[in-house]
Chains A and B, each alone.
Chain A
Amino acid sequence: GENVEQHPSTLSVQEGDSAVIKCTYSDSASNYFPWYKQELGKRPQLIIDIRSNVGEKKDQRIAVTLNKTAKHFSLHITETQPEDSAVYFCAATGANNLFFGTGTRLTVIP
C-alpha cells in the first residue's frame, strides 16, 4: 500500500518567518494530497489540498507544491503567527483510502 513519510517531526520558527513541511509518497497512482492542521485536543481540520493535475496551490498565507516525478509535496506557511502553532499532517490517496504522515509539530515563537 501507500507509504507517506513526513519531515521534520518538530519545527520551531520565529513569528513572521516561513515554515516548510515536506512529505514523500510511494504510490505513483495517488492523485490527491490534503493537509490537515490539528490543535491540541481538537480534531484534524483540512486546511488545503492539491490534486495531481496541479503543481501549486495557494490560499492566503499557505501554499502547497507537488512534484509528481519525485513523488513529494510540501506545505509552505508564510508570515507565521502564534495561532499557526499546531500539528500538521500530510496525506496521500491510495486506492479508496487516505494514508497519513506521522505529523509535524510546528511552534511559532512570538
Chain B
Amino acid sequence: DAGITQSPRHKVTETGTPVTLRCHQTENHRYMYWYRQDPGHGLRLIHYSYGVKDTDKGEVSDGYSVSRSKTEDFLLTLESATSSQTSVYFCAIRRTESSYNEQFFGPGTRLTVL
C-alpha cells in the first residue's frame, strides 16, 4: 500500500461548511496528488505537490485548496463544501525512485455533502 493513509475514511457534512482531508505517507516521496472519483469520469486530478510548500492545480481545482508543510502530509481543503463535491477522494504518491510517473493510491475518503 506504499505506506499511504487517508483520514477520515468517511465523512458526512453540510453545504457551506469547510472540510479538510488528510493524506499521510511514510516513505518520503516528493510528489503527492489529490484526485476525485465520480461515476463516468474516472479519476480527475484536483491538485498536486512536488515538494514542501510547492503545489500546483489540476484539471478540477475550483473550490479546493491544498497545503503541504511537511513531506509526509498533504492536506486537501474544501473551503465551503457544496453538493457537487460529494465524491470519493483519493490521494496518491509518485515513487521517487522511478523515472516514470508510477503512482500508488491511498485507501480513499468517501465524502458526502448534504
- Contact residues on B (Cβ < 8 Å of other chain), bracket: 20 to 34
Q: Could you tell me the distance between the alpha carbons of A34 and B48 in the complex, rounded to whole angstroms? A: 19
Contacts of B59 in A (CB 8 A): 1
- Complex interface: chain B residues within 8 A of A100 (CB): 42-44
* Contact of A96 (CB < 8 Å), options: B44, B90, B101: B101
The interface residues of chain B lying within 8 Å CB-to-CB of A45 are 105
Closest A residue by C-beta to B43: A100
In angstroms, Cα B44 to Cα A98, docked, is 9
B90/A93 in contact, CB under 8 A: no
Interface size class of A (residues with CB under 8 A): 20 to 34
Q: Which of B29-52 contact A (CB under 8 A)?
A: 31, 33, 40-45, 48, 50
A29 interfacial contact with B, CB 8 Å: no
- Nearest residue (CB) in B for A34 is B102
- Complex Cα–Cα for A97 and B41 (A): 17
Q: Beyond A43-B108, A97-B58, is A89–B102 a contact (Cβ under 8 Å)? A: no
Q: Is B64 an interface residue (CB 8 A)?
A: no
- Interface check A22, CB cutoff 8 A: no
- Shortest Cβ distance from B6 into A: residue: A43
Q: Which residue from A42, A43, A89 sits with its C-beta under 8 Å from B42?
A: A89
B44:A97 contact, CB within 8 angstroms: no
Assess whether A109 is interfacial by the CB under 8 Å rule.
no
Interface centre among B40, B44, B59, B103 (most CB of A within 10 A): B103
Besides A31-B100, A97-B45, A97-B48, 4 more A-B contacts (Cβ < 8 Å) are A43-B90, A46-B104, A98-B101, A98-B103
Can you identify 14 A-B contacts, CB atoms within 8 angstroms? Answer: A34-B101, A34-B103, A42-B107, A43-B1, A43-B105, A43-B106, A49-B100, A93-B100, A93-B101, A96-B48, A98-B101, A100-B43, A101-B42, A102-B42
